[in-house]
Amino acid sequence: MTRPLRSNFPRGSYLWSVRNAQWQALGLSEADCEKPKIAVVNSSSELASCFSHLDQVSVVIKQAIRDAGAIPFEIRTCAPSDFITGAGARGGYILASRDLVTNDIEVAVEGAQLDGMVCLASCDKTVPGQIMAAARLNIPSLIVPCGYQASGEYKGKHVDIEEIFIGAMHALTGHLDKEELVGMSREAIRSPGVCSGMGTANSMHIATEALGMALSGSTPVAAMSEAMMQDVRRAGARIVQMVLDDLKPRDILSADAFENAVMAVLAVGGSINCVKHLQAIATEARLQIDVYAMFERLSAQVPVLSAIRPVGNGTIEEFEAAGGSRALMKQLRALMHEAPMTVSGLTVGQELANAVVTNAAVIRPMTDPVSSRPAIMILRGNLAPDCAIVKTGIVERTRRQFVGPAICFSTSDTALAAIRDGVVQPGQVVVMRGAGVCGGPAMGGGASRVVFALDGMGLGEEVAMLTDGHLSGLVCKGLVLAELSPEAATGGPLAMVEDGDSICIDLDTQRVDLQITEAQWTERRAAWRATPPLHDTGWLQIYRANVSPTGKGAVLIKTE
């Protein structure tokens, strides 16, 4: 032992005695009780394929921890899956669950004063929730990405969860036979793991490695593959050494590390949800940095180097085979900060020294990018004084400015009905509000469904859309601005828009503006009244009362 462990107490003291009694009953000897104690954070669940394999992973990593001379203690958290957990409260439990994961971990790990933790990361809210907890507790921590699912084939064509999501909205608008959708849904997922495209989960797995919080070379990876299980065994051994070395998250999570993560997300045209998740991690790490401003600044410097679905036609399997995150960072090396430490105990530069790009057609060099225009942009303006986010993708837009009359909706159900009934017309700007962190609550409200319904009606490129809600990481359709802040439920500018108002979106100036007079602004602000909150009980009531704005990461801690 190279240093005292916080989990150990004087022999015969109250805390020592009661813990010894409990752990002896679990089969641990007195000598075992003196070893490093590692939390294995497991979000296993039989509700969703995202988490169905984690119990098997836990068995392997616990043995690796024992083999390295420490004692593993498995703890559980909630296991949110967008496509399962999103059924209740208009999807309000989805984002709210991220912070519940963080607090679950705090209660178990900090309450027991364990020495370190490995977190089995899967679906997209567990990843940031676990890193947020690591940043908050600041004990040796390592994230273990547990892989992507195998997609399927239906009638000779590729099908995955993205096609099901899109297809459901196409069926709603009458543009896809429901029996076709049923057939597709039975073939879309053929293994455990996260969504197989470059959605939020795979984007956050990649960002985690770029942050230095996952072992180099571990993302992305096919769930339950031999490559993944090798990473799992490596992680079990490595966390024990991290505890002995006292290598903690805040030794790793520097401002430069966040810039590396931002560049990695931009280079794959990743999910816009990464922006608020990375900001939340920075806030929990007590870093005074603005991740939104990082995306705004770095988007002009970082080209898109890989076009994986839904941004392009490439597959996540091709991305992994081409070298994965290590290869991506190798191609970005001219921009990457090499000094930040990683969980391996090596710096980013040391890790990248031997990185290899095995297919430069899949992960391209900066001299030959997929697109020199950013796939993610931050916009501001009088409708988004704090920010708005748009995923432009890699499509070269000849129409860089969109000006049109607003058509406003307060729920996704009314918007979907209007789309289906032909009320929404080409040239309009669809405004869907009341879907922010307070209004949703927790950004529930189904903004993504509205986007795919517009696509199903052939309006995806004929209208624009603004929402204070968030979008699924699988959304890359049309001109859609999300997470406008401040949100409508708190009296943000989006609440003042009326049907027929002219709205201008300009990608070149990165602005979104409502074209009304100052007198109209003043009159509407004076007349505005907050609407009664929806789903204001239980956990969602606690969340709504304590959540910070998205610009602070929508965390449940004081940010001022």
User: CA-to-CA distance for 484 and 52, rounded, in angstroms?
Assistant: 35
pLDDT digits (tens, 9 = 90+) for 528-555: 999 998 898 999 999 999 999 999 999 9
35-149+191-352: what fold? Rossmann fold (3.40.50)
Amino acid found at 180? E
Give the model's pLDDT for residue 559. 63
- The predicted-structure confidence for 373-422, as pLDDT tens digits, reads as follows 999 999 999 999 999 999 987 777 667 899 999 999 999 999 999 999 99
Which residues are CB-contacts of 111 (< 8 A; sequence separation ≥ 6)?
Answer: none
* Higher pLDDT pick, 368 / 2: 368
Least confident stretch, 63-72, 288-297, 328-337, 466-475: 466-475
The single residue of 52, 97, 371, 472 carrying the catalytic annotation is 472
pLDDT band at 560 (very low <50, low <70, confident <90, very high): low
Backbone angles phi, psi at 362, to 5 degrees: -95, -45
Query: Exposed (0-12), middle (13-18) or buried (19+): which is 166, by Cβ within 10 Å?
Result: buried
- Structure tokens that stand for 394 in this block: 């890699």
Amino acid at the residue 221: V
Mean pLDDT, to the nearest integer, of 48-52?
96
- Over residues 424-437, the mean pLDDT reads 96
pLDDT for 2 beyond 70: no
pLDDT, the chain, mean: 95
Are 38 and 65 spatial neighbours (Cβ–Cβ below 8 Å)?
yes
pLDDT of residue 83 exceeding 60: yes
Whether residue 1 is predicted with pLDDT greater than 50 in this model: the reply is no
The answer on pLDDT for 558 being more than 80 is no
Q: Is 58 a catalytic residue?
A: no
Q: Which of 156, 196, 164 is nearest to 181 (CA)?
A: 164
Residues 6+ away with beta carbon under 8 Å from 455:
166, 169, 170, 477, 478
Q: pLDDT tier at 472 (50, 70, 90 boundaries)?
A: confident
Q: What is the mean pLDDT of residues 295-321?
A: 96
**pLDDT by residue (tens digit) across 118-138?**
999 999 999 999 999 999 999
Superfamily of domain 376-552: IlvD/EDD C-terminal domain-like (3.50.30.80)
- 475 pLDDT band, cuts 50/70/90, is confident
What's the pLDDT score for residue 327? 98
**pTM for this model (two decimals):** 0.97
Q: In whole angstroms, what is the distance from residue 77 CA to residue 85 CA?
A: 14
Confidence of residue 557 (pLDDT cuts 50, 70, 90): confident
Q: Which residues contact 376 (CB under 8 A, 6 or more apart)?
A: 265, 266, 269, 270, 272, 275, 295, 299, 389, 390, 391, 392
Task: Quick: pLDDT tens for 342-379.
Answer: 999 999 999 999 999 999 999 999 999 999 999 999 99
DSSP output for 178-245: HHHHHHHHTTSB-SSSB-SSSSHHHHHHHHHHHHT-B-TT-SS-BTT-HHHHHHHHHHHHHHHHHHHH
More confident site: 557 or 206: 206
Report the pLDDT value the prediction gives residue 3, as an integer from 0 to 100.
Answer: 76
Same fold: 35-149+191-352 with 376-552: no
**Domain definitions of the chain by residue range:** 35-149+191-352, 158-189, 376-552
Mean predicted confidence (pLDDT) in 267-295: 97
